[in-house]
Amino acid sequence: MRTTSSSECQNTMFGNLTAPILSLVEFWVRFVHALESHWSRESKAENVSLISMPKLKTHMDIEKHGKVMYTHTNFYIFHNQLCDALFNCEILSISTVEGDTTYKIDDKRHQRYIYVVCNKESQDATCTCRIFQSEGIPCAHTLLLLKSLKEIPACFIGIKLAAKKPIFELDTIVPTGCAQVWQQSRMISNASSQLYKCMDLAGQDVDKL
């Protein structure tokens, strides 16, 4: 994942939970809450992927391989791209220059021409739609060329491979020598969270406050 894409993901994740006027304690409480929410969603998605299998709609080997390699959500994205390759894309012409083979593809769904450049030596391919670069899943135009394979080439697995751990661990952002400080900060965060809950329950009642 590129640095810009990583920053955009983090901004999306924390953007709704932070504000310039927050105190340090309030910021830390919201920060921890955002991480825990992220881990919870990720754990649920991983659990679904481990205890069930998505439904296949073709008998193609490459689709079976995608079922194993991707989480359910990403597999269905892959499946949609594969269906587009089968029903909405067609190779119009092929040309080879200095080892690079260029395929001109008619994308009937989006009514445009797409070019895929393949290199036999590196076993790599680049598509002008750039979906793989942004999503990490092969586009329909590339899958049109790969559909006869039994497995998705390693270079096309991308970043959407079903992960077995969170994208980033909270422990990794805390220096080893700061374990005690981390524990104290965690206790302060929990205490502050409980205090806010009590104040919310009390409302405007002076006696309860």
Asked if residues 136 and 159 have their Cβ atoms less than 8 Å apart, the reply is yes
Number of Cβ within a 10 Å radius of residue 193: 15
Instruction: Tell me, yes or no, whether 146 and 63 share the same domain.
Output: yes
**Domain edge (last residue) among 36, 52, 68:** 52
**43 domain-assigned:** yes
pLDDT at residue 94 greater than cutoff 80: yes
Residue with tokens 């994942």: 1
209, two tokens: 């406050």
Phi, psi of 149 (to 5 degrees): -75, 160
* Residue 43 pLDDT exceeds 90: no
Collapsing DSSP to helix, strand or coil, 160 comes out as coil
Are 31 and 88 in the same domain? no
Share of the chain above pLDDT 90, in %: 22
Does residue 181 sit in the same domain as residue 117?
no
Q: Which of 9-18, 56-65, 92-101, 105-114 has the lowest mean pLDDT?
A: 9-18
C-beta contacts of 157-160 below 8 A and 24+ residues apart: 157/69, 158/132, 159/1, 160/70, 160/71, 160/74, 160/77, 160/135, 160/136
Per-residue pLDDT averaged across 123-139, rounded?
87
> Mean of the pLDDT values across residues 32-51?
73
Provide mean pLDDT across the span 179-194. 61
d(CA 36, CA 6): 19
Segments forming the whole domain that contains residue 190: 174-204
Is residue 3 domain-resident? yes
Which tops the pLDDT comparison, 186 or 34? 34
Q: Across the chain, what does the average pLDDT equal?
A: 75
64 and 140 within one domain:
yes
Q: Is there a domain that residue 164 lies in? A: no
Residue range 164-178, pLDDT digits in tens: 443 344 444 444 444
Statement: residue 3 has pLDDT above 70: no
Total domains present in the chain = 3
